[in-house]
Amino acid sequence: MDMNERLQELSRRAKASIEAAMDPDKLNEARVAFLGKKGELTAILKGMKDVAPEDRPAVGQMVNETREQIEQMLDESRKAFEETIRAEQLKAEVIDVTLPAKKNLVGHRHPNSIALEEVERIFIGMGYEVVEGPEVEYADYNFTKLNIPEDHPARDEQDTFFINDSILLRSQTSPVQARKMEEGKLPIRMIAPGRVFRSDEVDATHSPSFHQIEGLVIDRNITFADLKGTLEEFARELFGPETKTKFRPHHFPFTEPSAEVDVSCFKCGGKGCRFCKGSGWIEILGCGTVHPNVLSMCGIDPEQYTGFAFGVGLERIALLKYEIDDMRLLYENDVRFLKQF
């Protein structure tokens, strides 16, 4: 058999092996068998030394042509395999866009959070900053510095969760006032939202843990008129532009004079309804001008500076705004309830 025939025969066998290969592994085996280091074509090349020198160029060319043929066949076959694999992959990954989507179960914002953001928006709009204080507080800040002396009934164990004689769960957000004043940076315009604790039984209007928003403004020449104007504006923004406010004299140890503020019932406009228990008014907060004792105890000269303060119950605002008649609903976190707001 001359060289030409040998090469043609080899090429035919290579073709048959390549066509018979059912997967890329078998194809690779065919490549190794014919073109590999120990492959048949390589063996022929190694035998070139036995070919007469004058025949070598022609034989060399034939070997190269055969190599190219086999390489081309291998290449085509490899491409065909790749295409089939890709087609199968695409088929397997097909997405049926007509299938109903999976429902994404996200929670819902709590009415307290919605109400708080609304109150923060209003006061930030008036140039206030939002400040936070600790929930576990010194009796000193919760009471003493706020002009609530040792024997004051507000300190009663019945109302307060004491941890020891001098530390307690804060019963109001007012201690944040004292902390802010002690920092000594004036003027102050702040609100302090947060959780407070009182030893109360749970019912429709009470909970041992609830939230307040404290407000404090300290500057030169602040008067009760500033307090009135601010809270009137706050009430109008929160409950609507028609809302009227009424300041009733009251007593708080940390303010003098002090008042409780009622807003005209936004349900009946003040005529009297079930919502306002027939009175036409709804109580929303306590306030007053900061007591000079509080200023001095917190390092501010009451001869130079005056201020006002107020305290709002966050739950009270949320219950009013969304006409919820049982506070317990706010703590149960039933999504069916929360979803309504």
- In degrees rounded to 5, what are phi and psi of residue 64? -60, -40
Shortest spacing between CB 174 and ligand DAH, in angstroms: 4
Select 238 or 309, whichever has its Cβ closest to ligand DAH: 309
The region of 24-32, 128-136, 157-165, 303-311 touching ligand DAH under the rule CB under 6 A is 303-311
Answer for which of 172, 230, 243, 245 binds ligand DAH (CB under 6 A) is 172
- How far apart are alpha carbons 256 and 308 in whole angstroms? 9
Question: Which residues, numbered 17-36, are part of the site for ligand DAH (CB under 6 A)?
Answer: none
Question: Does residue 310 belong to the site contacting ligand DAH (CB under 6 A)?
Answer: yes
Strands (E), 63-221: 129-130, 136-138, 167-169, 188-197, 209-219
Q: Compute how many residues bind ligand DAH; rule: CB under 6 A.
A: 11
**How far is residue 195's CA from residue 205's CA, in Å, rounded to a whole number?**
16
In the complex, least distance from residue 212 CB atom to ligand DAH, rounded to whole angstroms: 6
State the Rg of the chain over Cα.
43
Instruction: For residue 179, give both structure tokens.
Output: 């902390």
Smallest gap from Cβ 215 to ligand DAH, in A, equals 7
Residue in this structure with the two tokens 């140890």, named with its chain if needed? 253
> Interface with ligand DAH by CB under 6 A: which range of 75-83, 136-144, 157-165, 282-290?
282-290
Assess 311 for contact with ligand DAH (CB under 6 A).
Answer: yes
Q: Looking at 255, 276, 280, 327, which residue binds ligand DAH (CB under 6 A)?
A: 255
Residue numbers 217-246 binding ligand DAH by CB under 6 A: none
Q: Does 214 bind ligand DAH (CB under 6 A)?
A: yes
Please tell me whether residue 11 binds ligand DAH under the rule CB under 6 A.
Answer: no
Cα–Cα distance for residue pair 337/327, rounded to 1 Å: 12
User: Can you spell out the DSSP letters for 112-137?
Assistant: HHHHHHHHHHHHHHTT-EE----SEE
Stretch that binds ligand DAH, among 120-128, 199-207, 296-304, 308-316 (CB under 6 A): 308-316
Collapsing DSSP states into helix, strand and coil, what is residue 262? Answer: strand
Interaction between residue 288 and ligand DAH (CB under 6 A): yes
* Cβ–Cβ < 8 Å for 245, 263: yes
The answer to whether residue 286 forms part of the interface with ligand DAH (CB under 6 A) is yes
Instruction: Convert 178-213 to b/e letters by CB count within 10 Å (16 or more is b).
Output: bbbbeeeeeebbbbbbbebbbeeeeeeeebeebbbb
Residue length of the chain: 341
According to DSSP, the β-strands at 167-169 and 136-138 are antiparallel
**CA distances to 12, 45, 286, 287, 304 from 119, in Å:** 87, 90, 16, 16, 30
Minimum distance from residue 324 beta carbon to ligand DAH (Å): 21
210 binds ligand DAH (CB under 6 A): no
Give min distance, CB of 106 to ligand DAH, in A. Answer: 34
Stretch of 78-86, 103-111, 158-166, 306-314 contacting ligand DAH, by CB under 6 A: 306-314
Contact letters for ligand DAH, residues 132-171 (x by CB under 6 A): ----------------------------------------
Residues that bind ligand DAH (CB under 6 A): 172, 174, 214, 252, 255, 286-288, 309-311
